[in-house]
Chains A and B, each alone.
Chain A
Amino acid sequence: MGEEMATVAPESSSNLSASATSEGVSEASAGISSALQAFGIDSSTIVHVILVLVLAYVSTRIVAFLLTRFSERFHWLRLGIKMEIPLAKLAIYGFAVYHILGSIFQLSTNQLIALSGLVGAAVGFGLKDLVAEIVGGIVLVLDKPYQIGDKVRIDGHYGEVTDIGLRATRLVSPDDSLIVVSNQRMITQVLANATAGSLEMQVVIDLFIDSSSDASRAMKILRDAAVTSRYVYISSKRPVTIFLKDYPFYKRVRARVYVNDLRYEFKFESDVTKRAWDAFLEAGIEPPKAMVMDPVSTSPAA
């Protein structure tokens, strides 16, 4: 009996709580609908609002797609055109919100003040992060610390900026991972931009050779490999520079050289490294030897 009572009691309490919840929901919905009616909003207005938002979303996708296509066609204007995508999105969403508030809701001054109060409360309680991200997006679009297509490093992540959305910025890392960073972080963290709107980008290529190898010859070969690469870009402002540094057990030959399109950064590095090493080996230039200690020669007895 006691067991039965024990099993029944939770059921009855759950029924009680369910009926209490449904009453609460119906009260809340009645409250919301009366509040909406007070603003003159009926179901057709809500459908209209949803339709405008969907249209705005579809429009941003179409505009982004067309601008991307257009930018690929006019290669030299690629980054400039892509930079207009976030601006276009901002304009479309801005117009949609303006249309919803002005034409659909037809809000009076008093209603606008009441709405701002509601929005302020919502932001204060739960949406402050979202709003901070959107404000960050607007700041990014206007301040342009980076553009779509730039290679940036932030928070230890490195990649190409592929999209600047209203809420977050998307990067694609060299290993093809998608990194999403909120716009708020993008404006508050220290950000390194390797290209700053230019198509070309400096690439540093290090090769290490054995100390006994001919360093001058290695420098000449690395320079030749860099300037003859299919990905190279050279001008008086973008020169090729070769450096040599001596370490205790090896030498480092370094090339600072520009790739003609930052999308080819890693292909460029591989191309120069491969052809330089082919020529190094032909010229008898060797990689550093592994330093293996000889136990006999280093022992105190020896």
Chain B
Amino acid sequence: MLPFFEEEMKRIEESIEDYRGGIRRNVAIISDPYYGEADLMARAASVAGPDGLRIDGRRLRHDFGILERAPQRIVVVDEAHRLSLRKVGGFDLMDRFLRFVTSEERLFITTWNSFSWRYLEEVLGIGRHFPRQIILPRLDAGQIREMLLAGREEGELTFVEEEAPGGDSKVLDWRVSRRAVMGHNIDLPYPSVDPGVIRSRLKRNRKEKKSGEDAFFERLAQISDGNPGVAEHLWKEALNYPEVRSSLRDPPTIDLDFDESFVLGVVLSSGSLELDELSEVLGPMDLSAETMAALLEEKGLVSIDGGVVTLRAEALKSDIEHERRLRLVW
């Protein structure tokens, strides 16, 4: 169990107590992918005890009847956003679920991908069905350090200073733009400033004033955007026991066309998606799910395993920035 969502866990327990006392307030736990909300749900299910049923959205998608048949009064639904798909007719099951949530006397504790939640809030107004909304907060450098060093002794690990990859990149570089002048194509050179290199050099200068360990966790918090799952993934990459390499890579730069960006947004809004589900979304748009997923995999943004397309943790921050910039997620 992650040690820093205690406040959020307390609110979930309060909801269960209130329900047992006669006040029903359905709960929605909202977070970006990799936040580790499944641990919270496991704990919620154990608090509910024999009165509780835990089920995930993907299973409900295939057999909604389970929910209707189950006798338990407290229903814990993991990844409830999976009940909708972004296609014509893709909200029917979600509509059915929301009607069920409103009409039943049971308590629903649900988790939602934050991007899906905001989209579904605009499209279906789902917020009114879940009066208690808990948004998992991002972690700061201290909390990430506490999480990753839990169970280790002081001085057990050595933080080794290394030059970040790509340190020889130029701030100012020349690029070429092809222009048609009087019927001839002419290559015109123009200066291009790389803001990523400037940021990275500024960070490196600041970092020098701090200890290697402090600088490492601050950079980890910044690259992971306070996301515990992403921080843990990057930690595993940096850890070579008993050494921790400080050379954390910057999130990849994203260069996608609009359709590829849309597909990435669909995956981001779910965390992971089966290729069949992606085909259902992209088919009517005359896009091939296999081709688009392969293109995203080639660019290091997703991985495809067993027919499931999953976001790569290390690219999550770049994905979110890119999608927000194009206003494909809100």
**Chain B, 136-171, contact with A by CB distance < 8 Å: what is the 0/1 string?**
000000000000000000000000000000000000
Given A65-B177, A76-B325; A228-B88 close (CB under 8 Å): yes
A221 and B258 contacting across the interface, CB-CB below 8 Å:
no
Given A224-B90, A230-B259, A278-B284; A66-B190 close (CB under 8 Å): yes
Given A235-B122, A275-B285; A228-B326 close (CB under 8 Å): no
Contact of A225 among B88, B262, B325, B330 (CB under 8 A): B88
13 contacts between A and B (CB under 8 A): A69-B190, A76-B327, A200-B327, A221-B89, A224-B87, A224-B88, A228-B87, A230-B262, A236-B122, A240-B123, A260-B326, A260-B327, A264-B258
Note all chain B residues with C-beta closer than 8 A to A271: 285
Bound-state CA distance A271–B87 (Å) is: 12
**Chain B, 78-96, contact with A by CB distance < 8 Å: what is the 0/1 string?**
0000000011111100000
Q: A224-B89, A260-B327 are in contact. List 9 more A-B contacts (CB 8 A).
A: A65-B190, A75-B325, A76-B325, A224-B88, A224-B91, A227-B123, A228-B86, A275-B285, A279-B89
The residue on B at minimum CB distance from A234 is B122
Note all chain A residues with C-beta closer than 8 A to B122: 234-236, 239
> Which residues of chain A have a CB within 8 Å of any CB of chain B?
62, 65-66, 69, 74-76, 199-200, 221, 224-225, 227-228, 230, 233-236, 239-240, 260-261, 264, 271, 274-276, 278-279
Note all chain A residues with C-beta closer than 8 A to B325: 74-76
The residue on B at minimum CB distance from A74 is B325
Interface extent on B, as a size class?
Answer: 20 to 34
Is B328 interfacial (CB 8 A cutoff)? yes
Name B's interface SS: mixed
Contact of A275 among B177, B284, B326 (CB under 8 A): B284
The 3 closest A-B pairs by CB, nearest first: A230-B262, A234-B122, A224-B88
The residue on B at minimum CB distance from A260 is B327
> Which residues of chain B have a CB within 8 Å of any CB of chain A?
86-91, 119, 122-123, 177, 190, 258-259, 262, 281, 284-285, 325-328, 330
Given A234-B122, A235-B330; A228-B190 close (CB under 8 Å): no
Bound-state CA distance A279–B88 (Å) is: 7
B262 and A276 contacting across the interface, CB-CB below 8 Å:
no
The residue on B at minimum CB distance from A278 is B284
Bound-state CA distance A275–B330 (Å) is: 23
Bound-state CA distance A235–B118 (Å) is: 9
Note all chain B residues with C-beta closer than 8 A to A62: 190
Given A234-B123, A235-B122; A276-B327 close (CB under 8 Å): no
